[in-house]
Amino acid sequence: MAFTKKRGNTSPEVSTASLPDIIFMLLFFFMVVTVLRDAELKVKVNTPQATELTKLEEKSLVNYLYIGRPLERYHSLYGTKPRLQLGDKFSSVKDIPLFLEKHKIKVPENRHGQITSSLRVDGEVTMGVVQDVKTELRKSNQLKVNYSAKKRAD
């Protein structure tokens, strides 16, 4: 005589042993793929509007130079005159060659000729400041210059 247990309609439990592995793989994936913003804007930049725009494809080959009036919280330190921001800090025009060299180090040598400097200039800034920056870029042999703009609503 065989004894058999009566089983209910329960299905076997799902194993959760591999769940932590999956979560850590997803976490690692998003940590590797996510690109954090490099610079916190300390100047007010309201770029002009334009109709004929071209998008820069490779962001790793672009230097961003911001020109504008300091934000209100920096008025006590830097005043209200237009300033140049390179990376995360206010700089002078003399700091541009060093800024460019620091960026060149991160780029493979065969791509140095493709590096572009993108000027993000506030629409209310006079061209004298921009001309000084362009002159220093030219002296540093950075000849590919781009002006950032917003698309004009038609």
What does the block give as tokens for 72? 């209100």
Domain membership of residue 71 (yes or no) is yes
Q: Quick one: which of 127, 103, 105, 120 has its CA closest to 44? A: 120
Beta strands in 73-134 (DSSP E): 83-86, 89-91, 116-121
Give the residue numbers spanning the domain of 134: 43-151
The answer to whether position 6 is within a domain reads no
Q: How many structural domains does the chain have?
A: 1
Task: Scan for tokens 């060659």, then name that residue.
Answer: 97
Query: Per residue in 53-71, pLDDT tens?
Result: 888 888 889 999 999 999 9
Within the chain, what is the greatest distance between any pair of CA atoms? 103
pLDDT tens, residue by residue, 30-51 = 888 887 666 788 999 999 898 8
- What's the CATH code of the domain at 136? 3.30.420.270
pLDDT band of 13, cuts 50, 70, 90: confident
